[in-house]
Each structure stands twice: as structure tokens, then as C-alpha cells.
Structure 1
Amino acid sequence: MFDGLKRLWGRIVNMFNYTTLKSIVGKDVALSQTMIDAINKWKNMLAGKADWCDDTVESLKLEEGICREFADSVLVEMEAKILNNDSMDKVLQKSLSDINEKLQTGLALGAMVLRPLGPDKAEYVAADKFIPISFDDSGSPNDIAFLVVKCIGENSYFTRVERHYFTNGNLTIENKCYHSESLNDIGQSCSLDEVPEWANILPGPIIYRGMTEMDFGYYRNPVDNKVDGSSCGVSVYESAETLIRKADRQGARLDWEYDSGERAIHVDERALKSKGGKTYLPRLKKRLYKGLNLEDGKDKELYKEYSPAMRDEAFRRGLEEYKREIEFNVGLAYGDLSDAQEVDKTATEVIASKKRKYNRVTAIQEKLEACLNGFVNALAFYNGSYMSGVEFICDFNDSILTDEESERQQDRQDVSMGVMSALEYRMKWYNEDEETARSKLPEQNQVME
């Protein structure tokens, strides 16, 4: 059976170092060890297993929230369709059914590939499952390797390296197979026939003349790569790593404040009853009591309450501030991660944050549209329709920014018409409770008889 995808990248890290990859493809590889380490770091953060998470600090899963919010905003009311080929459009629509969760992973790991598997199937490949060998001037891979690992028996591993590149401007695909008896070594070159499922795959290289672009769609986050300066994609939360770490630790402090602040009653050992070698207080909550030799002497108190003052509000304010800094850093709007009721910002700052998010979401949409366009062209290639052309449309809803101002203006009109009260308006747009909003309403002029 095939190794699980979770094990694949761990094996790549162990055995596909730069030297091994260079030896397989016969040239320098764009994927550096620095990027491999970074992708693993982002993947662990997404899974709640960042380096700083341990028995005392649990992940708040802010990384997951960031990716989910961006994916939801990017894909809301997205319409993508192939107009002149129903069979290909069915393949596209089936692929789009999983695009939200796949895009979330792509946002987290920096890049992803959507590629056809023949004329009627497709798959998403995250950045931890392919090896970019080189990029063109636009930042898209023009030489790439996909890896498939199969385990036969207990210690017999076969790795198929499927490489896509150009020869004199034409798409070229070749397959190589390697066998190893260890997870830490790619092993020796072998025939594809040794794996029954791969027996019908031609090793190549096979040149497809007339196919002048890659046979897949490639998505890369619109984030500048400051990890190694290459064209490899970077996680949307890479620049907020330090802030996310601080937020996770602040969350741990808040949890500890609640745990350590639980009310307890210290009781003298004389107040405890003994049964079977154990001391107890009958009919009372066990977790409220703790045996303690408070003071010798009959005239001393046998009970003493432990009920410290809670400092949770201070910790919560600190946590919310970290969340707002993360929102600013990654390009989200205030309230996407933080508590919207506690966003102490002016209307101008809130609108500016909406514009910031709008710009980032628009940039992601442009990259995604290019990815889908590449996928459709690749699908046309595998369906024999590449030369005849396909008509593809992709539209996105840009209401992130416009809805805010339009809705606010409409509410102003409703107030002036009397169908919405000024109290409701303040509560909605100033995030005020009823009492606060009512106290800030302008006094009405009274007519004297």
C-alpha cells in the first residue's frame, strides 16, 4: 500500500537532501534546505505542533484561523466555469468542491499545484509534496518533480520521480524509479516494472510537441520570499511567527490564571477524618480542600479559604492586543481573529484595515485565477482540446471593502427615514452595548407648550 502523505515529506527531509536531488535530476535544484526546513515549520505550526508548544503551552490554532479566513474571503461567491466543454467543466467543478480546504493548506505552506491525472481526474499537491527545480522569470516552475512513494512488504520502498520540464520549448515528462530497504536512503535506480501499478508508465523522456506550457496550474502566495530569496512560495503567516508564539504563550498564561485561581480551602489535618489510611472531609467537594498543618494549638482556626484575586482581564487584553497585531501583520481586518467587541479603533482605522484585507485578498485571487487558468489549459491538453482552445471564466466577489461603506450609508439613510433608530446605529457601528449607546445619543429638543 502507498505510504501516507504525512510520512512522505518526513522521508523527503531525511533522504532527499540537496546533494541527492541534484544527483537525481543532474542539475542544481531551486528548493534549498532552508526552504525545506521552513515548510516543515509552517506545517507543524498549522497542526498545532510549533516548536514552542509543549505541556504548558498549547496552540491557539491562530494559523488555522488565518488561512481559513483568507480562503473564505477569497472564495466567497467565486464563479469558475468552462463554457464550451461540459465534460471538462464537470472535472473542474469536482476539483473546485475541495478548493477551500486545499487553498488553506496552500496558504499555510506557501504554494500548491492543481494538476490533471489524465482527462477526467485531478489532484491538489501541496508544497511539501513536490520539488521545484527551476523557475521562469514570472516565478512559475518550468522544471518540477513530483514524488510518489510505495511500500511493498515491510521494508521495501519504491520511489517514483515524475519530472516535468521543457525541451526546446516543448513539454517533456520522464519517470524514474528507485528502490531502497530503508526510509533514510533513496536507494538504487530500478525499473518501473517492479511495481505493478507503474508497469504501464513509460519512463521517457517523452516530448509533447506543441504543448508550450506546464501541464498543471500553479498557485504561489503573493508574499515576498525573505526565507531564502528564491521563487518558492512563503506562508501567509511567516511574518507573524513571533507574534503567534507570543499569543500562544499569552493564552497559556490566561489558562494558568484560571487554573491557579480556583477557590480552595486549606484545612488543618485535625479537621480531616481518616478511613483506610486516607484522610477526607465527608459530603464535600474534594477539589476544594487541601490538608495542611496550619498551626498547632486548639485555639487556632482549622479552616482557611484560598481565593486569590483574578487577573484574567489583564491577560485577556494582552491576548487581544497580540491578535490585533497579527491581523495587521498578515493583512486581515480587525476583528477577524480578535474580539470585535474589544477593537478600540476609530472608524478610519477600521476602514483602513478593511482596505488592507481587500488588497491582500485581491492579490491572492489573482494568483488563484492564474492557477485555475493553467489547470484548465492542462485539462484541455489531456482531453485533446489544447489546440482548439477552451473558454474559461473566473469571477470573484469584491465586496470586502465596498459592502462596509455601502451598508453604513444605507443605515444612515434608514436612520434619517426613521426605519432604524440612532440607538441601533450606534450599537452596530460603534460596537457599543445598549446602555453606552443610549448615554451617547444627542439630546432631543423639547417643544414647550
Structure 2
Amino acid sequence: MNIFNYFRKKGIDTVDASFYRKIEEWTSWYNSNVKQFTYYKVYSGRGTCKKCRRKSMGMAKKLSEDIADLLLNERVMITLEDEPTQEFVKKVLNDNHFLVTGNDYQERKAYTGTVAYIPYLYNALVQKDGTVSGGKIGINYVDAKNIFPVSWSNGSVTECIFTFVHTIRQKKYVQIQFHRMDENGMYVIENNVLECSKGSAEGRELVEQEWKQLKPFANLAARTETGSTNPQFVIDRLNITNNADESNPMGIAIFANSIDVLKKLDMEYDSYCNEFDLGRKRIFVAPEMLSNIDGTPAFDPEDSVFYSLPEDYDKSQTGLIKEVDMSLRVEEHSKAINDDLNYLSLKCGFGTERYRFDGTGVKTATEVISENSDMYRMLKKHEIILDDVLKQLIQIIIRLGIVTGNALDINTDIVIAFDDSIIEDKGAERQQDRQDVSMGVMRHEEYRAKWYGETVEQARQNLPEQNQVME
């Protein structure tokens, strides 16, 4: 099914379809299965071509893993000033496996450019007066190929369509979820379900009574009023300017502008592997040496090292056994791969030594920050967007919690403490902060808030001196 045919039929404008072909291309590099590159043909010299699969270093996958681990890992601390709100948000995130799934979608963000988080209510009871009681908060995670911005301003998406694919009794269905503003500026969520029938370009549109008969959509409402002027979704993207299509707010892959380097690396790595395959030792043996006196084979016929010489070979030139041991161009290949790894690392923001496999051991944090300032600036740049994304997600969770009857503070301060221990020398920085405290240029509560993941107000209350004064 072509979803864009459905959009055209409904009069909905979104990002051009050509951009989603770019997303497919980036995904193919992530999976090391690229059209017209991974598989290639080699002429055999006998009028036929042999189909070969190019070996890959999988660097697109590695880049995506690394930036995801740097941005969102177990050391990232989310602190809310109001303790009941803090506990509520923490439980919702834990129930939705945010630490694991969130890291997974940071990796997806790295190779597709964009992901989205959509909190929602389920198992809630709606009273006659419209109030909601009970219920739990879930989070839908969506990757770039299922995100279709409809309205945006200055890169911020205000209205968006998300699609969710379901297979039910060997039939494929697509849920289309449209988050838009009504005439009063309030957000509503409109749902529709399409059956991806064969031979239909846009799929068969189901009416609500039909999709209610299908288990995944039994509780799906055609329209939901959120009662909020703020969206109930969060778009997360890398902080890289989209030069693939400057007219849309979607992000691009971390390696989007390094495809040529990825190609060259895979060609070099494939050649490196072929060097060992084609350059293995071979032993040419005279025909009379192939059999023992009793006629049994002298060599294992399955052994690929031994080759039989022709019957009319020149004994004076060759001898009974001739060994061929070709030299391998290991150093040349190794240097080319390392040079391009450095170039790839530099283009993707990690500095020039991130992927240099020179056997010198693991660098300390001090060495990393002194040699990889590019990596430090790159990470801080991406954290600007992620910090805002996490705060928006938490605010939506709090709002939904209030809707379900919980006493929460929607205006509580939210502090996101990212883990920079990989690129910063935390020990040296902490020692410097201690000296600043002793000199009086840094307050005790500032120090505690920074190193204990608290807000300044919480830190002030938790200071030993403050506790003594209160007593």
C-alpha cells in the first residue's frame, strides 16, 4: 500500500515521498544490505559472471550504536523538584521500559534521523460528566518511516500523522493516527484503519464498526479530544541540518553525508578479505605423485591446497612438487582502512581517533577529552534537542497523570543530567568544583545539585548545614 495515495485522496499535505526513499537508503546501510552495492558481479573469463556478496564493516550500525549509548544510557538522571511527581514519572517510565526502548530508539534516530514518542491512556474509565478515573499511561515509540509531519514552523512539528502496522489473521492493517488542532486551537487525535488489500493502491478504508471487531482496535476511538493546547507527541531528531530536503522538519542520519566513505570502507574491507582468500598457499603436484603404490589417493581429495599439474608438464622446470605462496598486501589495506575510519569518524563528529584500531589500549577520559574536542561539541549539540524532548515527554506524562486524578505539579522544575563521563574527566572536574566551593566562588547547593542529580532547591534542603539550622 502507498500511504501517499491515501493522503492525496484525503487532501493531506506532508513531506515529499522522495525523502522516505532516503530513509530507506540510510536503513539499508545500517543493515549492510545496499541496493546495487552489496551484491555485485565478477566476470569469470568464460562468458559468465559470478554473483558475489560484498563483505561489510557495518560502520553505519556502529556509528548509530555509539551515539545512542552516549546520548541515553543508564547514567542519565531525570530529576523533578516535586517528589510525588518525580515518583509518578519514574514509575511510568519504568513501566514502559524507557531506559531500554529509549536507547533502542536513539539508535534508530541515528540511522533514520527522526523518531517520536506518543504517551497515551489505556484501561481508563470515563464518567458521565467526562472526567477520567483510573487507567495507565503507555508510550508508543515510532520510527521515521512511520512519521508524516503535516504542519510545522521553524522546524517544530505542530500537526503530525503516525502509522502503526498490524497483522491480524494473515491480513495487514494500518492504523493512521492524526494529531491535529481544531478550530479552537485544542489538540484532537483522529484514528482511522486501512486494510492493505491486494491490488489496491491506497488500501480499503474501514468504518469504525468494522475495526472494532478486530482485537488490536477494539478500544480504539475514532476521535479523542485531549483538552490541551499542547501536542500529545514529541518529535526527536539529531541536531544536524537536513540538507537532503531543506523544506521539511525531519532529521537526517548521522552518516547521511558520509555514504561515499562507507562505500570506500566496505570496498577496502572486502578486498582485504579477498586478499586472504585468493592469496592462500597452493601446492602443485605431479600426476604420478597423486596415488600410492596400491592405487589409493596420496592426498585428501577435499583438500583445496593441492592441485594436479597437467600430464605434459615440464619436469625440468617444475619438479614433482611446486609450492606457490603469494605475498599479502596487509599493510596497504590496513593503512587505507584506518585512514578512512579516521575520515568517517571526523565527518560524523567523533574526532579523528575514535575508530583507530592500533592496539595501543583503551584511552583514559583525560586523553579522550584532550584529543576529541570535536566529539565533546558534537555530543553537547545533540543534547540540546534531547534535553527539550525529554522535558516535553515528561510534561505530557504529568498532564495525563493529572487527567487520571493524580495530584501532580505540572510546573515542577525538571533537570536532565546527561552522562558525560565517557568524554569528560569527571574526577578532575569534581576536584576543581570542590576547590571552587572552598574558595567561595561556588555555593554548596550548586555543587550538590550538579553531582547528586538534584534541583538546586532539593540540594539546599539536603545540605547538612541546612538540616542543622532546621533542627
**Under a length normalisation based on structure 1, what TM-score does the superposition of the two structures give?**
0.77
Distance 1:248 1:363 in 2: 29
Alignment of 1:12-411 (within 5 A): 14-17=1-4, 19-24=5-10, 26-29=11-14, 31-51=15-35, 52-54=37-39, 55-75=52-72, 77-82=75-80, 83-85=83-85, 86-93=87-94, 94-118=97-121, 119-137=136-154, 139-154=155-170, 156-167=171-182, 168-182=184-198, 185-195=201-211, 196=213, 197=215, 198-204=217-223, 206-209=224-227, 211-229=228-246, 230-273=248-291, 280-282=297-299, 286-293=303-310, 295-296=312-313, 299=316, 301-341=319-359, 354-384=372-402, 388-403=410-425, 406=428
After superposition, what is the alpha-carbon deviation per residue over 1:378-420, rounded to whole angstroms, capped at 9, x for unaligned?
A: 212322268844443211133455429959x99xxxxxxxxxx
* Alignment-mate amino acid for residue 43 of structure 1: T
* Alignment-mate amino acid for residue 203 of structure 1: A
Distance 1:166 1:115 in 2: 16
SS at match of 2:137: coil
Deviation of the 1:280 alpha carbon: 4.3
Distance 1:397 1:111 in 2: 22
SS at match of 1:290: strand
Distance 1:100 1:120 in 2: 20
Distance 1:372 1:191 in 2: 36
* Alignment-mate amino acid for residue 97 of structure 1: V
* Alignment-mate amino acid for residue 132 of structure 1: P
Deviation of the 1:39 alpha carbon: 0.6
Deviation of the 1:78 alpha carbon: 1.3
* Alignment-mate amino acid for residue 84 of structure 2: N
Structure 2 segments unaligned to the other structure (5+ residues):
40-51, 122-135, 362-366, 433-471
After superposition, what is the alpha-carbon deviation per residue over 1:266-319, rounded to whole angstroms, capped at 9, x for unaligned?
A: 1122322299xx994336982221112275355551211110111111111101
Is the 1:81–1:89 contact (alpha carbons within 8 Å) kept by the matching residues of 2?
Answer: no
Deviation of the 1:361 alpha carbon: 0.7
After superposition, what is the alpha-carbon deviation per residue over 1:325-350, rounded to whole angstroms, capped at 9, x for unaligned?
A: 0001000133322215589xxxxx98
Is the 1:80–1:394 contact (alpha carbons within 8 Å) kept by the matching residues of 2?
Answer: yes
Deviation of the 1:253 alpha carbon: 0.7
Distance 1:28 1:181 in 2: 24
Deviation of the 1:102 alpha carbon: 1.9
* Alignment-mate amino acid for residue 202 of structure 1: A
Deviation of the 1:45 alpha carbon: 1.0
Is the 2:345–2:355 contact (alpha carbons within 8 Å) kept by the matching residues of 1?
Answer: yes
* Alignment-mate amino acid for residue 37 of structure 1: R
Distance 2:426 2:191 in 1: 52
Distance 1:399 1:152 in 2: 46
SS at match of 1:97: helix
**Under a length normalisation based on structure 2, what TM-score does the superposition of the two structures give?**
0.74
After superposition, what is the alpha-carbon deviation per residue over 1:410-431, rounded to whole angstroms, capped at 9, x for unaligned?
A: 9xxxxxxxxxxxxxxxxxxxxx
Deviation of the 1:370 alpha carbon: 1.3
Inter-CA distance 378–274: structure 2 relative to 1 (3 Å threshold): farther
Distance 1:266 1:406 in 2: 64
